[in-house]
Structures are given as structure tokens and as C-alpha cells.
Amino acid sequence: MTESTPDTDPSPDHTPGPTDRPTALSLVEGRSRRGVVSFVSRSPRLTPQQQKLWDRFAGRWLIEVPRDEAKTSIRPDHGIDLKTEYGRDADLIIEIGPGMGESLAPMAKARPEANVLAFEVYRPAVARILAKLDKQQVGNVRVIQANAVEGLQLLAPEAGVAELWMFFPDPWHKSKHRKRRLLNHDFADLVASRLRPGGVWRLATDWADYAHQMRAVLDDHDAFESLYPGDFAPRWDARPVTKFEQRGIDAGREIFDLAYRRR
């Protein structure tokens, strides 16, 4: 769900070695310059029904941002006042790539005391998220159509995020594509700068190779400590099983949960 949908023709899972370490994402440096991105470029065109959903609900839950060069970029000089956007000051939870919001809506509804901010790159998916938030009457969510790197760097407060959710990021399972995986050491540095001390980063994937890469990166990172040292986390009960996750289960893939605390 995060940032993209999976590629085709999965390669066999294996434990990554030194040669599998992904190429660093180019973070925003005054301009939107990410030579390697973790999502597939898709048409932003909405169906007539999706456009109706957008027109009806965007004013309630969507935060519009000015673009830089790319359609999912954010102009580097732009910032937001989250207290104004939510109408209150509360703990901030960020979800990266909620897809169509199948888990975002119920999880946010279960945390009414928190402000939940979602970054999703695909416009049609955002339209579906807005409809789910309305149907389930979830008032504590705001959605931004933007890539996660720029969203975190430009809009998330430094040391101000209580939790980060990142469930089922695109595995980019072919060896030649692993450099496009979102979670690498540079991205972990960025997340560490945004999570407050004691803040928790929760992750899940249905690709064993990516799961071991996540652990290799985060177990080795000075800013994080695993909540389950030396092992994966048990399945987080608060995360509902989505259709996306169920497809992985039906395909025979194991679900891996991870949880890390900001030191």
C-alpha cells in the first residue's frame, strides 16, 4: 500500500547481504530532486465518480499543497500550521501510503485523541480515502497528496511526531529495482529527525526479503531501538486485515510486523 502497488513477477525471497543495500534516496535540497523514487508514476485522472467524491469531500479532509516540479512534489518554501488545520493541538500520527484508506479510517477512528496525517501519492486513492473518512465519520484525519520524503521533510515538525505508520510499502522485489525501496538509511535518518523521543515507528510487509532489510537498517541505526529485540514484532492488533494484506496471505506470503522506538 505504501507509495505504490507491487511490481509483477516476484523473485524468490532471500536474506539481503551487503550488495542488497539500497541506493540512498535523494532528499529534498531546496528543490524537488529525487533521482530515484519509490513509486510508479501513474495518471492522476479521476473517473467521474471519483471526481464527485473529490469535489464533495476534499474541502473537509484534504490539505492542498503547492507543487514544485513533479505532480506529487511540494514547493520547498511551503509549510503548514497543523494546529490550524486540525483546529486543536494534539499528538500527531503520520501514515505513509494508506492506499485507499481501508485501514487508515478505522485506525484513526480508534484514536480520536490524536491528529492523523496521511501522505498518499495517487489521486484516485485519495478520492477513495476521502469517501471512507466521510462514511465512517472520522474527523481527526487530514490527507495530503504528496510523496513521503518531501511530506516528512517539509511539512512534519522536527521531533514532533508521536507515531509513524508504514504498512506494506512497495517491495520492489526484483534485484534491479531494490534501490527504489523507500526504507533505506537516509529515509531512516529523516524519520528519526521527525519522531519525538519515545515515538514509535510501526511497519509491516508481506515480503520476507524486505522485512529482513528493514531490520538490517533499523537494528543498526543509532536513533532506534526495537520493541522486540532480535525478532519481529507480533501482529499489531490495532491494524485491521485489509484486502491488500489478505491477497498476500492467500498467495502464501508471511506477514512481518516491526516496531521501533525513537531513542
Neighbours of 29 (CB within 10 A): 10
Quote the pLDDT of residue 174: 81
Quote the pLDDT of residue 10: 36
Question: Computed from CA positions of residues 85, 89, 90, 96, in that sequence, does the dihedral angle turn out positive or negative?
Answer: positive
Question: 118-175 pLDDT, tens per residue?
Answer: 999 999 999 999 999 999 999 999 999 999 999 999 999 999 999 999 999 999 878 7
- What interhelical angle do 123-135 and 48-61 show, nearest 10? 60
Q: Find, among 259, 173, 247, 185, the residue nearest to 216 by Cα.
A: 185
Q: Find, among 146, 143, 155, the residue nearest to 54 by Cα.
A: 143
Quote the pLDDT of residue 130: 97
Q: Is 170 a catalytic residue?
A: yes
Cα separation, 173 vs 246, whole angstroms? 19
Catalytic residue among 68, 170, 209, 222: 170
Which ranges of 139-242 would DSSP assign to H, the alpha helix? 148-155, 185-194, 208-219
List the Cα angle 142/138/166 in 5-degree steps: 55
Q: Find, among 44, 32, 45, 40, the residue nearest to 2 by Cα.
A: 40
Quote the pLDDT of residue 31: 34
What is the pairing mode between strands 92-96 and 161-167? Answer: parallel
| 83 in a known ligand binding site | no
| 174 in a known ligand binding site | yes
CA-CA distances (angstroms) from residue 45 to 48, 66, 96?
Answer: 9, 18, 22
Helix (H, G, I), strand (E, B) or coil at 92: strand
| Size of the chain in residues | 263
Quote the pLDDT of residue 45: 87
Quote the pLDDT of residue 89: 98
H/E stretch holding 132 reads helix 123-135
Domain 47-262 falls under CATH 3.40.50.1980: no
pLDDT (tens place) for every residue of the chain, 263 residues total: 654 433 333 333 333 333 333 333 444 333 334 455 555 555 578 999 999 999 999 999 999 999 999 989 999 999 999 999 999 999 999 999 999 999 999 999 999 999 999 999 999 999 999 999 999 999 999 999 999 999 999 999 999 999 999 999 999 878 776 898 999 999 999 999 999 999 999 999 999 999 999 999 999 999 999 999 999 999 999 999 999 899 999 999 999 999 999 99
Quote the pLDDT of residue 132: 97
Name the residue ranges covered by the structural domains of the chain.
Answer: 47-262
| Cα 6 off chain centre by | 14
Copy the grid coordinates of residue 33: 530532486
| 242 in a known ligand binding site | yes
Question: Strand ranges (DSSP E) for the chain?
Answer: 92-96, 115-119, 141-144, 161-167, 195-205, 224-226, 256-262
| 176 in a known ligand binding site | no
Cα separation, 203 vs 59, whole angstroms? 30
Residue for cell digits 474541502? 59
CB 242 within 8 A of CB 97: no
| End-to-end alpha carbon distance in the chain | 27
| 71 in a known ligand binding site | no
